[in-house]
Amino acid sequence: MSDGDVSRVIVFHAADTTKKQASALAASFPKSSSLFSDLKTARVQGVAMSYLREADRTNAPLTFPNLGITLGFADSATLKKLNSLPEVSYATRAPRLGHIRPVRIAAAAAPTGLTWGLKELGIAQLWKKGLTGEGVMVGHLDTGVDAKHPALKGRLAEFAEWDLMGRKKDKASPHDTDQHGTHTAGTICGVSVRGHSVGVAPGAKLCSGLVIEGGDTTARILGGLDWLVGLGVRVISMSLGYPGFDAVFTRLVDILVSKNIVPVFAIGNEGPNTSRSPGNYPKSFGIGAYDEDGKTALFSGSEHFDRKDSPDKPDCVAPGVAIVSAKPGGGWQEMDGTSMATPHVAGIVALLLQAKPDATAVEIQKALLDSSDPIQSEPPLRWGRGKVRPLEALNVLTGTAAPAAAASRRKRAVKSKRGRKK
């Protein structure tokens, strides 16, 4: 056995796999420590020997029952054997996920009334209709959250943390290991603080999982997703991924959508002709960013794929430049990135779900895409279907036609898109 042949392996269970079969499957993996002969070769794979000893002691690999997934270390022979088992749908090497870092972070004063993003999206009009996200639980996988921040007071329904090996910690207390998580959480559901509003859905409840950064991020993120599926959330905000396109997690996104969950992913901050997985998958809701001038942000990713379903990413764009939101420890902070656009859309989904709780994940995404507003002065690939328009999406979702002007703009943009050269 060659140490260089060893990798992290993700196994998708067959649809009818029982709990007993899943346990037997996990037990069929070789001991992690037996796959690496010394610390040097383990480090080549980004694995510490202390991790492997602990993994063996705690009966790794990890099984995620709500997702129907097992994650462990294996060599090529074991991988081939796994793919031959009847309880295995598919097994392959697993890429390493990580969060999408903001392009810019700056100190900020409290917003005057609503942030520019909330004003641009017309969020106050939905609040006037009684839509605040009340009764909706929003999943949030990030660096954690400062639940004591005034804007997030009373918003946290559930909090969990996964250790560096991907195991769920007992009795975790809400905290943010960085700044990213509190900022994105504030955009999703922050409440008004002395007249300052940063959150799209201030009535929604947050289910926040601390899964990044550091350690086995793939295991931690899968653990967070498994937890959120078990809680019954209907939308998950994920400003994370890995550069480029890799189809490994396509099945994972399919699983989420099949469970009626809207998976909202940041498309990435590497600019035109780039994107991040899983945000660039056909069934993912991949979100790009635009600025106060209504232009797609220069850093916002966009890419065309040679496939029939959803060939262009992002799907749409949302405010993602100079976004003011909550800062850990109190106060406010401004950030740029598709990571900032993503929680705006997750919050909008919460508003739509309050309006129509029985709407499917596919119906929600379709309503948002069909009502998006094209950016006429730019190539369509940069903005997908356009800028999200929550009020128009609500009209589409509840059976009222989108305003004629917006429909006309979309028709012209579609014509332009068809004439586009790759």
Please identify every residue annotated as catalytic.
Answer: 142, 180, 339
CA–CA gap between residue 157 and residue 137 (Å, rounded): 8
235/260 Cα distance (integer angstroms): 8
Report strand pairing: 316-319 vs 303-304: unpaired
Confirm if 242 and 281 have CB atoms less than 8 A apart: no
d(Cα 219, Cα 224) in Å, to the nearest integer?
A: 9
- Distance, in Å, from the CA atom of 92 to the CA atom of 98, rounded to the nearest integer, reads 19
Contact yes or no for 234/259 (Cβ under 8 A): no
In the block, residue with structure tokens 């000893």? 53
What's the full length of the chain, in residues?
Answer: 422
User: In whole angstroms, what is the distance from residue 106 CA to residue 95 CA?
Assistant: 31
Nearest to 105 by CA among 342, 336, 341, 344: 336
Q: Which two tokens stand for residue 101?
A: 């870092």
Cβ contact 347:151 at 8 Å: no
CA distances from 296 to 212, 319, 323, 324, 417 (A): 27, 9, 14, 18, 16
Q: How far is CA 350 from CA 85, 133, 233, 384, in A?
A: 40, 5, 10, 22
